[in-house]
A and B are shown apart, each in its own frame.
Chain A
Amino acid sequence: MSKNLRINKNNFIDQTTRISFKFNGKQLFGYKGDTLASALLANNIHLVGRSFKYHRPRGIMTCGSEEPNAIVQIGNDSSLTDPNVRATEIELYEGLEASSQNCWPSVNFDIGGINNFLSPLLPAGFYYKTFMWPASFWEKYEYFIRHSAGLGKAPTKSDPDIYDHQYSHCDVLIVGGGISGIISAKLSAEKGLDTFLIDDKNFLGGSTIYQENEAYKINDIYSNEWLAKEIKSLKNYPNLIIKNRTSLAAFHGYNYLLARENLTDHLSISDRKNKIRQRLWKIRAKKVIIASGSIERPLIFSNNDRPGIILSSSIKKYIDYYGVKTGENISLFTNNDSAYETAISLIKSGVKVNVIVDIRKNSESLIVKEALDLGLKVLWESTVVETQGYKKIKSFEVMRLSDDGNNVIGNKTKHNCDCLGISGGWTPMVHLFTQSGGKLKFRNEDNVFIPDQNKTPTNQISVGSCNGEFKLDEIVTRTIENTKSFLDLSKTCYDEMKINCPDEISKRNIWLLPSDKPIGKTKPFLDFQNDSTAKDVKLALREGFKSIEHVKRYTTTGMGTDQGKLSNMHALGIIADTTGTNMGELGTTTFRPPYTPLTFGAIVGRNVGEFFDHTRKTAIHNWHVKNNAEFENVGQWKRPWYFPKNGENMHQAVQRESKAARDSAGILDASTLGKIDIQGTDASEFLNRVYTNAWSKLEIGKCRYGLMLNEDGMVYDDGVTTRLGENHYIMTTTTGGAANVLSKLEDYLQTEWPELDVYLTTVTDQYSTISICGPNSKNIISKIVPSLDLSDSNFPHMSFKNTKISDVNCRIMRISFTGEHSYEINIQSNYAEDLWIKCMEAGKEFNLTPYGTETMHLLRAEKGFIITGQDTDGTLTPSDLQMDWIIGKKKFDFIGKRSLYRSDTIREDRKQLVGLLTDDPKEVLEEGAQLVENINTKPVEMLGHVTSSYFSPNLNKSIALAVVKSGKKLKGKKLIVPMENKNINVTITDTVFYDKENKRLNA
């Protein structure tokens, strides 16, 4: 275990800076520049986790974001821990603590591993088929499934880290800093364009930067040296921004892209203090160049998932870039030339390469020759049929392939190894291209889906291997060509290029490699994270699943956190082979954002805590706070709910407030009501059209209550509108409806009635409203505005006066939402708190009592006034509310009028608003409670429900409003409100409980 597999020679890892870290509690060391995966491999640790379903031991398989196995939990702090992190992506830092996921009690002894021996019982769709019955058992099943198959632990405390959002509006965004991305970036920057280059690694140059092989040359120098010089030269362009450790999450339409920049995850914990952890870039690019590269495919054969089986190109990166040997007796298994490059790198680094198993008949390319010259042994036209080794591969068995590739023939030979590199060819990373709406085409020669030039959204191109270009000369020359024409360049620094590289001639592909055993006895894994095998895909096809999207869901292939980056192509290939379909016709599954997972922190950025949503406070808010108000959220508004005194609870406070308002005087901050200023020569006509009642004859200085419907005839909003002048009104709306009412009115004005000369302006924030009600309200107002004649003849109910209070203009409306004699003062908001205090002082001798929304609701319910949104729910017409009096039947038209006599709206058995009295006057109903007539019929018929319910201190009994089927005709009828442990008897009444004759308005 404590073997050191690090070689000394390499340029990328700082072997002078040692970093200590812990894995599964064990203290280990690595170097600056390592990933967790490379450091683990250097410590000879392959086994890092267990698979999802069978809990098979799994090892590090790749070196990038496609990693399906090495998924770890970082840290154990309950607020900072990070689940589902790929060991191949996390950079090593001092003090890093990581642990395996999905295994219990430990990675070496895992109880769920028993599933592996039960695997014949766990085929595709197993969960669907088994745990569905009996339904009542589901909770028990769920417990066990969740307990044994979790994917990491979520933090239990809130995230203390800082996240940020930033916008970029660049000319050109380049995604990927490999050789193609670098070439495109330099061309773009040279032209003077604002260029943004992002790469998910901490270094630029992709795989070319560590490709040190004399077969690859650009302008007569090694390709890696050439590229290193180019990267250096990028510093000369101030118009080029380079973001490392930044991965693209999503590519939306119109070149809108999201990228996540990691700023501190690679730093030691102490260096992270007060720094932004991640930044979400919101990029609107004029042009996008995708240079996202390609990833190597695995090969699909029995038990191809053992720890120590690693993608060949990853073995190469571990040795060439990190200086880490993934084993000391390595063999390779391939269908193409790239494994030979790995072999050459290994041999040059002094690692024994036992044998290369190659499914092809032969290959005569330069790179193969070079490997053979180094003494490499190749088994041509052969395949691995089986592997051995539980926690790490020990050996593998090889047989010859038949000509057609469907069978194996001859003798089986066994080869020992401690690492097996596999290479099944390359898959262009087309995720981002398809996310943006691009369509793919299939290239038969090498079985790849590549961007279809003719079906590429405008203002983007793909360059390099993500565009299906795999040979160095092709990559360089086509990237230059394509970038030049895309950015409209003529002469550039790359106009004369000389490239040497070997040519791959021989190709052979077998999606599912044959074995000497029947398929039922093999375990050829496709999706390593979700444990789906080629067998599962075949079973799904036998069971009748045809669409690739269905097969994917049924077998869970490609549904892990790696989104099937490794497995999708093989699944498609096997489906195509089995069903005799061409892969191009089959198409791919949809690639959905995010390409790599995003943290919630990055998504919300700074919009957390008090910044999550806007809070609106009235101008009098500070006074309410000082006077112990409890607040209620009404939309974004904070409204005083009630003002408890001397330890009162809500009920006690509301009873006191309600009584005071009727006995003497109450004061309410009504500033949150929406206020819309309406002006124009057609203002009256406009109101005629938007309200159900008539407005033309309303005198200047008078107020009127209006009901606004939707075009479907349902009540939408209500409020009092005052005529300030010939062509000038001020409309009030409900607090919650203010913005929507304005939008709706604007919509009609702009689109249906553009001929009307009307202008709407919201003045909700500009004016504050103080409402004073009760028999002493008149006395209080007369103290504040002594000059104003408050007599009923001069200032009757439903009228308004312009006046001045201490030289400040204000409007006083005599309107009432409580049924009491009442005034509403509208004043410019910056004078509102001052006026409120004045009112309180003037009202002292009359016990003027501040009250909140709860008392307001109670007082209006005593009068049977509705609250839209509480007593209505978008399904009630004015007639349903017993408000037929407000319909201007003689009016030619208004919004919703025609709907009031549709066959459905004139039904007599619609739910209608009624009053309810409980037989026991002390019993207060629950709002939302159902109303029934007969409790014994089954099913019990629900007749309606309670919409408002209070104990009225003024009537000394419980009162409620409800909607009941045919309610208008049922006055006096007894109904039952069935509750959990009792039935409450109620009687339907009139909706007005208090002062039916409206005497108090003029009291």
Chain B
Amino acid sequence: MFLINCPYCGERDQTEFSCGGEAHIERPKQPTELSDDQWAEYLFMRKNIKGVQFERWNHAHGCRKWFNMVRDTSNDKIHAVYKMGETPPVK
């Protein structure tokens, strides 16, 4: 059970948050120009790696804001938390 440092509220218990999967997968600007394969890549393909992973999180039972988080899935260490639109820290 992590403690997550919401960039808007501060440190809160994990139970207040929900995870939205892999971060930095931008919705294509012009979906109609994509092939089936390209669209499927956006739609279905997500990484689930052991190690440092960039994730989307939502402070669902708090400020309801979405933000990004860098978490090591092997030990749940949270390396960074940053707002949507901010540049991700270098890997």
Are the chains A and B members of one assembly? yes
Residues of A within 8 A of B (CB): 252-254, 256, 284, 437, 457, 711-712, 743, 746-747, 750-752, 754, 892-893, 897-899, 902-903
* Given A253-B1, A437-B75, A898-B34: A711 and B20 interface contact (C-beta under 8 Å): no
* Given A750-B84, A754-B84: A902 and B58 interface contact (C-beta under 8 Å): no
B76 (CB) vs chain A CBs: closest residue: A253
Among B1, B34, B65, B76, point to the contact of A750 (Cβ < 8 A): B65
Among A711, A743, A898, point to the contact of B58 (Cβ < 8 A): A743
Q: Write out, one digit per residue, whether chain B residues 1-23 have a CB within 8 A of any chain A CB (1) or not (0).
A: 11100000000010000001000
Show 24 residue pairs from A and B whose CB-CB distance is below 8 angstroms, ordered by the A residue.
A252-B1, A253-B2, A254-B1, A254-B2, A254-B76, A256-B1, A256-B3, A284-B3, A457-B75, A711-B27, A743-B58, A746-B64, A747-B20, A747-B58, A751-B66, A752-B26, A752-B27, A892-B32, A893-B31, A897-B32, A898-B28, A898-B31, A899-B39, A899-B43
User: Are B43 and A711 within 8 A (Cβ)?
Assistant: yes
**Considering the chains assembled together, what is the distance between the CA atoms of A245 and B38 in angstroms?**
60
User: Are B31 and A897 within 8 A (Cβ)?
Assistant: yes
User: Are B84 and A902 within 8 A (Cβ)?
Assistant: no
Q: For A750, list chain B residues within 8 Å (CB).
A: 65-66, 84
Q: Write out, one digit per residue, whether chain B residues 24-48 have a CB within 8 A of any chain A CB (1) or not (0).
A: 0011101110101001100100000
Q: For B75, list chain A residues within 8 Å (CB).
A: 253, 437, 457
**Considering the chains assembled together, what is the distance between the CA atoms of A711 and B2 in angstroms?**
30
* Given A437-B75, A893-B31, A898-B32: A751 and B56 interface contact (C-beta under 8 Å): yes
Most chain A beta-carbon neighbours within 10 Å: one of B26, B31, B60, B65: B31
Q: Write out, one digit per residue, whether chain B residues 49-84 have a CB within 8 A of any chain A CB (1) or not (0).
A: 000000010101000111000000001100000001
Chain B proximity of A68: nearest CB distance (Å) = 31
A752 (CB) vs chain B CBs: closest residue: B27
Among B13, B36, B85, point to the contact of A902 (Cβ < 8 A): B36
Chain B proximity of A368: nearest CB distance (Å) = 45
Q: For B34, list chain A residues within 8 Å (CB).
A: 898
Residues of B within 8 A of A (CB): 1-3, 13, 20, 26-28, 30-32, 34, 36, 39-40, 43, 56, 58, 60, 64-66, 75-76, 84-85
**Considering the chains assembled together, what is the distance between the CA atoms of A896 and B90 in angstroms?**
32
Q: For B20, list chain A residues within 8 Å (CB).
A: 747
User: Are A902 and B39 within 8 A (Cβ)?
Assistant: yes
**Considering the chains assembled together, what is the distance between the CA atoms of A437 and B75 in angstroms?**
7
Among A252, A743, A751, point to the contact of B84 (Cβ < 8 A): A751
**Considering the chains assembled together, what is the distance between the CA atoms of A892 and B30 in angstroms?**
8
**Considering the chains assembled together, what is the distance between the CA atoms of A254 and B1 in angstroms?**
7
A-B pairs, 4 with minimum CB distance: A898-B31, A256-B1, A750-B66, A254-B3
User: Are A284 and B13 within 8 A (Cβ)?
Assistant: yes
**Considering the chains assembled together, what is the distance between the CA atoms of A751 and B39 in angstroms?**
19
A754 (CB) vs chain B CBs: closest residue: B85
User: Are A747 and B32 within 8 A (Cβ)?
Assistant: no
Among B40, B60, B76, point to the contact of A743 (Cβ < 8 A): B60
**Considering the chains assembled together, what is the distance between the CA atoms of A892 and B31 in angstroms?**
9
A253 (CB) vs chain B CBs: closest residue: B76
User: Are A747 and B13 within 8 A (Cβ)?
Assistant: no
**Considering the chains assembled together, what is the distance between the CA atoms of A488 and B64 in angstroms?**
38
Q: For B1, list chain A residues within 8 Å (CB).
A: 252-254, 256
Chain A proximity of B64: nearest CB distance (Å) = 6
A455 (CB) vs chain B CBs: closest residue: B75
**Considering the chains assembled together, what is the distance between the CA atoms of A332 and B34 in angstroms?**
79
Chain B proximity of A762: nearest CB distance (Å) = 10
Chain A proximity of B16: nearest CB distance (Å) = 13
Q: For A284, list chain B residues within 8 Å (CB).
A: 3, 13
Most chain A beta-carbon neighbours within 10 Å: one of B1, B2, B40: B1
Q: For A254, list chain B residues within 8 Å (CB).
A: 1-3, 76
**Considering the chains assembled together, what is the distance between the CA atoms of A256 and B27 in angstroms?**
36
Q: For A252, list chain B residues within 8 Å (CB).
A: 1
Q: For A892, list chain B residues within 8 Å (CB).
A: 32
Most chain B beta-carbon neighbours within 10 Å: one of A746, A752, A898: A898
Q: For A256, list chain B residues within 8 Å (CB).
A: 1, 3, 13
User: Are B84 and A898 within 8 A (Cβ)?
Assistant: no
**Considering the chains assembled together, what is the distance between the CA atoms of A254 and B20 in angstroms?**
21
Q: For A457, list chain B residues within 8 Å (CB).
A: 75
Chain A proximity of B46: nearest CB distance (Å) = 13
**Considering the chains assembled together, what is the distance between the CA atoms of A116 and B85 in angstroms?**
69
**Considering the chains assembled together, what is the distance between the CA atoms of A707 and B46 in angstroms?**
27
**Considering the chains assembled together, what is the distance between the CA atoms of A437 and B66 in angstroms?**
28
A742 (CB) vs chain B CBs: closest residue: B64
B28 (CB) vs chain A CBs: closest residue: A898
Chain B proximity of A833: nearest CB distance (Å) = 30
Chain A proximity of B37: nearest CB distance (Å) = 10
**Considering the chains assembled together, what is the distance between the CA atoms of A254 and B76 in angstroms?**
9
**Considering the chains assembled together, what is the distance between the CA atoms of A48 and B15 in angstroms?**
43
B1 (CB) vs chain A CBs: closest residue: A256
Q: For A752, list chain B residues within 8 Å (CB).
A: 26-27
Q: For B13, list chain A residues within 8 Å (CB).
A: 256, 284
Chain B proximity of A744: nearest CB distance (Å) = 10
* Given A437-B75, A747-B58, A898-B31: A712 and B43 interface contact (C-beta under 8 Å): yes
Q: For A902, list chain B residues within 8 Å (CB).
A: 36, 39-40
B83 (CB) vs chain A CBs: closest residue: A750
**Considering the chains assembled together, what is the distance between the CA atoms of A893 and B39 in angstroms?**
14
Q: For A711, list chain B residues within 8 Å (CB).
A: 27, 43
Q: For A747, list chain B residues within 8 Å (CB).
A: 20, 58, 66
**Considering the chains assembled together, what is the distance between the CA atoms of A898 and B31 in angstroms?**
6
Q: For A437, list chain B residues within 8 Å (CB).
A: 75-76
Q: For A903, list chain B residues within 8 Å (CB).
A: 36
**Considering the chains assembled together, what is the distance between the CA atoms of A31 and B67 in angstroms?**
60
Most chain A beta-carbon neighbours within 10 Å: one of B60, B66, B75: B66
**Considering the chains assembled together, what is the distance between the CA atoms of A892 and B32 in angstroms?**
8
* Given A254-B2, A750-B84: A893 and B66 interface contact (C-beta under 8 Å): no
Q: For B39, list chain A residues within 8 Å (CB).
A: 898-899, 902
**Considering the chains assembled together, what is the distance between the CA atoms of A892 and B66 in angstroms?**
26
B38 (CB) vs chain A CBs: closest residue: A898
Among B32, B40, B43, point to the contact of A893 (Cβ < 8 A): B32
**Considering the chains assembled together, what is the distance between the CA atoms of A488 and B39 in angstroms?**
55
Q: For B43, list chain A residues within 8 Å (CB).
A: 711-712, 899
Q: For B31, list chain A residues within 8 Å (CB).
A: 893, 897-898
B13 (CB) vs chain A CBs: closest residue: A284
Chain A proximity of B72: nearest CB distance (Å) = 11
**Considering the chains assembled together, what is the distance between the CA atoms of A254 and B11 in angstroms?**
12
B64 (CB) vs chain A CBs: closest residue: A746
B31 (CB) vs chain A CBs: closest residue: A898
A252 (CB) vs chain B CBs: closest residue: B1
Most chain B beta-carbon neighbours within 10 Å: one of A254, A897, A899: A254
Chain B proximity of A714: nearest CB distance (Å) = 11
Q: For B76, list chain A residues within 8 Å (CB).
A: 253-254, 437
A437 (CB) vs chain B CBs: closest residue: B75
User: Are B32 and A746 within 8 A (Cβ)?
Assistant: no
Q: For B58, list chain A residues within 8 Å (CB).
A: 743, 747
Q: For B56, list chain A residues within 8 Å (CB).
A: 751
**Considering the chains assembled together, what is the distance between the CA atoms of A892 and B28 in angstroms?**
13
User: Are A746 and B2 within 8 A (Cβ)?
Assistant: no
Chain A proximity of B1: nearest CB distance (Å) = 4
Chain B proximity of A593: nearest CB distance (Å) = 11
Q: For B85, list chain A residues within 8 Å (CB).
A: 754
B85 (CB) vs chain A CBs: closest residue: A754
**Considering the chains assembled together, what is the distance between the CA atoms of A897 and B28 in angstroms?**
12
Given A752-B26, A899-B43: 17 more A-B contacts, CB < 8 Å:
A254-B1, A284-B3, A284-B13, A457-B75, A712-B43, A747-B20, A747-B58, A747-B66, A750-B65, A752-B27, A754-B84, A754-B85, A892-B32, A893-B32, A898-B34, A902-B40, A903-B36
B4 (CB) vs chain A CBs: closest residue: A254
Chain A proximity of B73: nearest CB distance (Å) = 12
Q: For B32, list chain A residues within 8 Å (CB).
A: 892-893, 897-898
Q: For A893, list chain B residues within 8 Å (CB).
A: 30-32
**Considering the chains assembled together, what is the distance between the CA atoms of A897 and B26 in angstroms?**
16
